[in-house]
Structure 1
Amino acid sequence: MGSSSAGCENSTMWEANTSSVVRERSQECGGSVSVAFPLSMMITGLVGNALAMSLIYRSYRQKESKRKHSFLLCIGSLALTDFTGQLLTSPIVISVYLAGRQWSRVDPSGHLCHFFGLCMAMFGLCPLFIASAMAIERTLAIRSPHWYSSHMRSRATVTVLISIWGAGLGFALLPLIGLGHYTVQWPGTWCFISTDRRNPGSVVFAATFASLGLLSLATTFTCNLATIKALVRRCKSRNSASKTSKQWERITMETMFQLMGIMCVLFACWSPLLVIMLKMIFNHTSVENCRPPLESQSPEVQKDCNFFLTAIRLASLNQILDPWVYLLLRQILLRKFCQVANAVSNCSTDAHKDQAIILTTEVKKPEG
């Protein structure tokens, strides 16, 4: 706890001594972004997640969605997690922008920095864990349908989701007992996990966070790949003419499109941040080395500082893009896509049929 307080005090002193330089160098440090940017991101994210939760709730109550209850619970909890994370962190970022991008004016005690860093850690890991749970759930549903139908209940899914939230919160609280700490990050408008090598606890905590995130991404990718292979195999062996088979194919295809979309968003948004964190740890560098003016730092430090800022902005986009992936890949749009594909396929098939009929009549004419 003492190391955590010291880290926050040092960050506050740094901001107080260099606030004028930060304002002069706003173009270089990324502070030129106006308050309209985080405000628009917050509104887009909250609206998207709220709309996704309402549609998921309606789908959950429909009788034909019973076989998707566990998946809907997972994707609903993902929307709820993103919604809560944005609701807790975005107003703080907006306040810092309104205060001239000086964290010390909004948080002179440093307690808000700990809260912000805790939210970033918890609501960063939980979506990754939930996406892994969704991928595992679909893999079990497709590859082991009998075991899934007899063991997988909504209550079990809720228990897993509560455990994920509890694990994420427990991990994020570790700096409060001295393992690692949260500190103001470059360019002074947000707080996150420190990677300062002078504090072994911070290095362990940051490395664990990055490793858990990459492990979740690897699990999601592996399970989705196994599910796709099983789907292709089952689609080939099924009788596509039956009504049950068509309904099963529609549900599974819709689910897989959503899973793949969410997985792509997670990879694009989170992998740069997780990789740069591990790179900084292994290279014994830290974002705390980023000081204005940035040109006075070595080229390697400049590159890490700028890339880290870009990476965290990408990670913040995850909470906004997740619900829209679900909204855009829902049944209505997929049905339209399938109708167009079927129309093209039918036209091609009809042309082949007409050609076959003509050829058949031409062959039979000499015999008459």
Structure 2
Amino acid sequence: MESSNSTHGPYSINETTTQNSQTDRVEKSINLPIFMFAGGAVGNLIAIIVLSVSRQQRKSSAFYTLVCGLAVTDLLGTCLASPITIANYLNPNVLLDQHVCEFQSFLLLFFGLTGLSIICTMAAERYLAICCPYTYQRWGVDRRFAQKLLLFIYISHIFFCCLPMMGMANSKLQPSETWCFIDWRKHDPVSTTYSVLYSVVSLLLILGTILLNLAVCGALLMMRQRVVQLPVTRGSVRERWRALSSAAETQMIAVLVMTSVVVLACSAPLVVRVFANCFSDEKNFKADLAAIRIASVNPILDPWIYILLRKSLFRRFLGLSRRGSSSRSSSPPLTQTTLFTTSIVKDSSVFTQLMCNASIITQLPATVTFTPRDTERASSRLDSAE
């Protein structure tokens, strides 16, 4: 009896110590997915509320609708994928169920590709609005048009991302046993074809977004040159007011560029890992896990772009930047006439001047019309100054 008790006692102590250490590791590891879930859900909810309180005329724009669609997509992705990850940390047998594993793999495929598609659509909408305004008006790009695009993106991506569950590829629990994804190391022709196809589509969306953003930025630079070259005459007042109307487009570009940088930076590592695992036999499980974690950060960062780049906060920031630049300049005081013209013509930060005259993401991209009252008001200012 004594011998049995003496052998059983240390074993019980060791077993208890092992269980406690495992519990501590689980508690430490589960903090990250819980934090990411809370950050993504709360941030996107705040962003949707901020977008919802905008003016009615702003809500009718296509860009506004696409931004709302991206926020809703990020919120859905966070609320659907994160609970499965948290449940798997609490019970490692959750992802051993093949149906649950396939569902999580579908979520990662779908929301990753949908975010890239919406960002590319936003870039294309800005390109048409600024570089091809006639085509933009002829196609009737508005809120309903953007809603149809979002519906098409969702339906087509659901079908494409359901192909693994239809037998075109296999979903597999990854070596870290915390997430499921397509079996990108299975070198049979069908599975490899789907992995390569998914990577190619993602890469094309990334390249398309970059090229469209560069084209739009180039168009804005050309617009700035036209404003600088306009003569300072009374007849050019209307043209200068039209130049200032591009502020809505410029502010939309600010949101688009920031969101594109975040989405592309978070999505590119996973696309690279898919290519690497398809065409290379080298295994790097840590890089795979890091890539999927970086992709999971995207829904957390996106909404804060919409929140922080609101009209009030953004104009305050620009006001502080202009105040700092004006305090450093030693130029003599300007007359009222030069305040109206030179601030547009001679200021090197013309984009800053344009961004201060409209809201960031919710102005209509259509051609702005000016009433005779606006022109008379501008002309009266010049007459009084002279």
TM-score range, shorter chain: 0.7 to 0.9
Q: Deviations over 1:306-347 (max 9, x none)?
A: 111111100111111111122222222321222123324444
- Where do residues 59-74 of structure 1 align in structure 2 (5 Å cutoff)? 59=54, 61-63=55-57, 65=58, 69-74=61-66
CA distance in 2 between counterparts of 1:48 and 1:244 reads: 36
What is the one-letter code of the residue matched to 1:275? V
Aligned to 1:14: none
Q: Is 1:88 the equivalent of 2:68? A: no
Q: 2:266 aligns with which of 265, 269, 276?
A: 269
RMSD between aligned alpha carbons?
2.6
What are structure 1's unaligned runs of at least 5 residues?
Answer: 1-22, 286-299, 357-368
Native 8 Å contact 2:116 2:264 kept in 1: no
Q: Deviations over 1:68-114 (max 9, x none)?
A: 71111111101111111111111110011112xx2xx2245421111
Native 8 Å contact 2:95 2:179 kept in 1: no
Native 8 Å contact 1:186 1:309 kept in 2: no
SS in 1 for 2:110: helix
Is the helix fraction higher in 1 or 2? 1
Q: Deviations over 1:136-191 (max 9, x none)?
A: 00011110123213321222211111111111101111012210121111201111
Residues matched between the structures, number: 305
What is the one-letter code of the residue matched to 2:40? G
- Where do residues 175-186 of structure 1 align in structure 2 (5 Å cutoff)? 175-186=164-175
CA distance in 2 between counterparts of 1:342 and 1:246 reads: 17
Q: In the superposition, relative to structure 1, how do residues 213 and 229 fare at CA in structure 2: closer, same or farther (>3 Å)?
A: same
Native 8 Å contact 2:185 2:277 kept in 1: no
How far did 1:51 drift?
A: 1.1
SS in 2 for 1:192: strand
Native 8 Å contact 1:217 1:266 kept in 2: no
What is the one-letter code of the residue matched to 2:56? Q
Q: In the superposition, relative to structure 1, how do residues 32 and 270 fare at CA in structure 2: closer, same or farther (>3 Å)?
A: farther
What are structure 2's unaligned runs of at least 5 residues?
Answer: 1-18, 231-235, 336-386
CA distance in 1 between counterparts of 2:31 and 2:324 reads: 45
Aligned to 1:225: 214
CA distance in 2 between counterparts of 1:146 and 1:324 reads: 33
How far did 1:243 drift?
A: 5.0
Percent sequence identity over aligned pairs: 32
CA distance in 2 between counterparts of 1:113 and 1:181 reads: 10
Q: Is 1:43 the equivalent of 2:43? A: no
Q: Is 1:307 the equivalent of 2:287? A: yes
SS in 2 for 1:183: strand
Q: 2:98 aligns with which of 98, 102, 110?
A: 110
CA distance in 2 between counterparts of 1:215 and 1:264 reads: 16
Native 8 Å contact 2:95 2:173 kept in 1: no
Q: Is 1:352 the equivalent of 2:331? A: yes
Q: Is 1:34 the equivalent of 2:25? A: no
Q: Deviations over 1:278-333 (max 9, x none)?
A: 011111x3xxxxxxxxxxxxxx53xx111111111001111111111222222223
Aligned to 1:142: 130
CA distance in 2 between counterparts of 1:344 and 1:146 reads: 40
Return 193-202 or 226-235, whichever deviates more.
Answer: 193-202
Native 8 Å contact 1:254 1:331 kept in 2: no
Return 232-241 or 210-219, whichever deviates more.
Answer: 232-241
Return 123-132 or 258-267, whichever deviates more.
Answer: 258-267
Native 8 Å contact 1:38 1:90 kept in 2: yes
CA distance in 1 between counterparts of 2:26 and 2:153 reads: 35
CA distance in 1 between counterparts of 2:64 and 2:279 reads: 39
What is the one-letter code of the residue matched to 2:74? D
Native 8 Å contact 2:95 2:180 kept in 1: no
Tell which structure's C-alpha radius of gyration is larger.
Answer: 2
Aligned to 1:174: 163
SS in 2 for 1:35: helix
CA distance in 1 between counterparts of 2:36 and 2:163 reads: 29
Native 8 Å contact 1:53 1:80 kept in 2: yes
Q: In the superposition, relative to structure 1, how do residues 246 and 341 fare at CA in structure 2: closer, same or farther (>3 Å)?
A: farther
- Where do residues 168-247 of structure 1 align in structure 2 (5 Å cutoff)? 168-238=157-227, 242=240, 245-247=243-245
CA distance in 2 between counterparts of 1:314 and 1:108 reads: 24
Aligned to 1:366: none
CA distance in 1 between counterparts of 2:137 and 2:317 reads: 30
